[in-house]
Amino acid sequence: MSDRTLVARPLTAEAFAPFGQVIDKSVTQPRPMNAGKARRFHDLADILVSGEESRVVVGLVEAQAYPLPLGFRLVERHPFGAQAFIPLTNAPFLVIVCPDENGTPGRPQAFVTAPWQGVCYARNTWHGVLTPFGQAQDFVVVDRAGAGVNLEEFTFAEPWTVAPPEATA
């Protein structure tokens, strides 16, 4: 395996903490609502935004599946707001993040979500594009709207490859 190959590992709150929050209803107790006909899993992520006239917005994304192993060069970050992706199915998806090294992305890390897990990328966190694999998926996206350019992209000079976890077996 090349030194530019990452083996995706299971997404955990501890491993992902430097980059944001894992959205996972299994980590909190639900509270009843609607006369006991519904359960609310409250406060699963903080969507922090900044900047002139900023506000939190909710949208839907239809994402096509990517083949694995995945070759990629592009990562992005959002300087004015956190960004959350919540799957509408139980299928896993790939999460790629990079530590910031003086304004540019460092060595990427790759994770695979468990069923129903989502992610909330912290403001200004380098991350890969939304990457379902195996099948197309729909997601709720919670994002920032407002004045200012809230997207910065970076292209690595050489591609990285992400292998699924079973590549080490």
Domain ranges of the chain: 5-168
Mean pLDDT of 1-30: 92
CATH 3.10.20.30 holds for 5-168: no
Q: What pTM does this model have?
A: 0.90
C-alpha separations of 167 from 6, 68, 81 in Å: 10, 10, 34
Mean pLDDT of 131-148: 95
The CA R_g of the chain, rounded to the nearest whole Å, is 16
Judge residue 117's burial from the number of C-beta atoms within 10 Å of its C-beta, 0-12 exposed, 13-18 middle, 19 or more buried: buried
Cβ atoms of 86 and 55 closer than 8 Å: no
The highest-confidence range among 33-37, 52-56, 125-129, by mean pLDDT, is 125-129
> CA-to-CA distance for 62 and 121, rounded, in angstroms?
19
pLDDT on residue 1: 67
Q: Is the pLDDT at 18 greater than 80, yes or no? A: yes
**Average per-residue pLDDT for the chain:** 93
> CA-to-CA distance for 127 and 76, rounded, in angstroms?
5
pLDDT on residue 42: 87
- Looking from the CA of 121 toward its CB, the CA atoms found within 13 Å total 26
Give the residue, 96 or 51, on which the prediction is more confident.
Answer: 96
Cβ atoms of 28 and 113 closer than 8 Å: no
Q: Is residue 165 helix, strand or coil?
A: helix
Give the residue, 2 or 49, on which the prediction is more confident.
Answer: 49
For the beta carbon of residue 88, count every other beta carbon within 10 angstroms: 14
- Looking from the CA of 16 toward its CB, the CA atoms found within 13 Å total 26
Mean pLDDT of 129-138: 95
Strand partners for 144: 56
Cβ atoms of 133 and 68 closer than 8 Å: yes
Cis peptide before 79 (omega within 30 of 0): no
